[in-house]
A = this chain, B = another copy of it.
């Protein structure tokens, strides 16, 4: 590998987790680009969140603005379509037993990482950064660090260069993710992510809560609200990036 390959490509959805990852990467790497995935289930509101967040980071954090490069959107609608493939009754029962929703398409993160690696290779970027987290692992095996390690090996063998997969949130609770955001960019970053990142499954942004915008009732809003409450209860601590 030549010295020209450096910097990081951040898997960036516009959600809370990947926004913190983007800030983490901007503090660590001198060159950062972002990639999003269109798998046919995106709300326009998420795409808008990506744009607003990138602009907010550039405007409020001048030392990061010079490091932030292009944004890319990759089409993986064909992968989302696999979810519509007839599900055998036996398989549906298995999925239910594992506690996964029947709309779940397994291995989504493997697809994200393979596409991201191919793009990073084109862009001359070295590391991949993603918000995978096994703390709130809810039956999604493709978020585990062990899976990331195996994927690093497969990518390195399959593409004949290393792609370190960095997962700064892997062992953090949702409250600790807020703490990391504070450690990275203080209350200014907290406010940016609180207000502009989007997590709600229903794509709702009409109602503002203390933890941000969303329906307040879907599992994603619930997780986010709980994490925020825990972080505030703990006195809004800051966690230094490792």
Binding site for B on A (CB under 8 A): 2, 4-5, 38, 72, 74-79, 81-83, 85-88, 90-91, 94, 98, 105-107, 109-111, 114-115, 117-119, 121-124, 141-142, 144, 146-147, 150-151, 153-155, 157-160
Task: Give Cα A38–Cα B106 distance, bound, in whole angstroms.
Answer: 20
Task: Give Cα A142–Cα B159 distance, bound, in whole angstroms.
Answer: 6
Residue numbers in B under 8 Å from A82 (CB-CB) = 74, 115, 118-119, 122
Besides A86-B122, A105-B118, A154-B154, 16 new A-B residue pairs in contact (Cβ under 8 A), listed by A number: A4-B90, A4-B91, A5-B90, A74-B79, A82-B118, A85-B123, A87-B122, A106-B121, A106-B158, A106-B160, A107-B117, A110-B154, A110-B159, A111-B114, A111-B118, A150-B153
Task: Give Cα A188–Cα B111 distance, bound, in whole angstroms.
Answer: 39
Task: Give Cα A33–Cα B87 distance, bound, in whole angstroms.
Answer: 15
Interface of A is mostly: helix
19 A/B residue pairs, CB under 8 Å, sorted by A: A5-B91, A78-B115, A82-B115, A82-B122, A85-B123, A86-B122, A87-B122, A88-B124, A91-B122, A98-B160, A106-B118, A106-B121, A106-B159, A107-B118, A110-B158, A142-B159, A150-B158, A153-B153, A154-B154
